[in-house]
Amino acid sequence: MNSYLAAMRNYALFEGRAARSEFWCFFLFATLFSMGASIVDALVLTPRFLGVGALCWLVNLVHWLPSIAVGVRRLHDIGRTGWWMLVGLTIIGHLLLFVFYCLRGTPGDNRFGGAIAEMDGSRKKPRGGRRWDDSLSWVSAPPKRY
């Protein structure tokens, strides 16, 4: 659940890296919430649009941007740019992205950020990147270029 919450806290952060556990836990909980919303939609008989209930649309809309962001950060972890997400517009691209998401991350630092450390509970920043509210603290220490 902590990985899901970390992904939701960094819902629009496209910099840095995301571990496999953060990525897959996010999608597990997002899917469970969507399934729960579908069940509630069926029980309450909410208005449907394109065969999907209103609550399910709302849950999927809430998870849309965070899912793109965590996917981009996951691709960064294996050393690929976020532009690889565009291959998901094809059927074969979905299979390729699935393989990428299952790969082990780059050990140590890569061009997208530092190594992903174990969660210690005291870290306020996302793994390997900057938060959007860090203001200009990164100006004094620019990232390493490889």
pLDDT per position as a tens digit, 71-128: 999 999 999 999 999 999 999 999 999 999 999 998 888 998 888 764 334 344 545 5
Q: At residue 132, does pLDDT exceed 50?
A: no
Q: DSSP strand E in the chain: where? A: 48-49, 52-53
Residues constituting the chain:
146
With tokens 């960094």, the residue in question is 10
**pLDDT for 146:** 59
Question: What is the radius of gyration, based on Cα positions, of the chain?
Answer: 17
Nearest of 141, 146, 89 to residue 112 by alpha carbon? 146
Nearest to 72 by CA among 86, 53, 92: 86
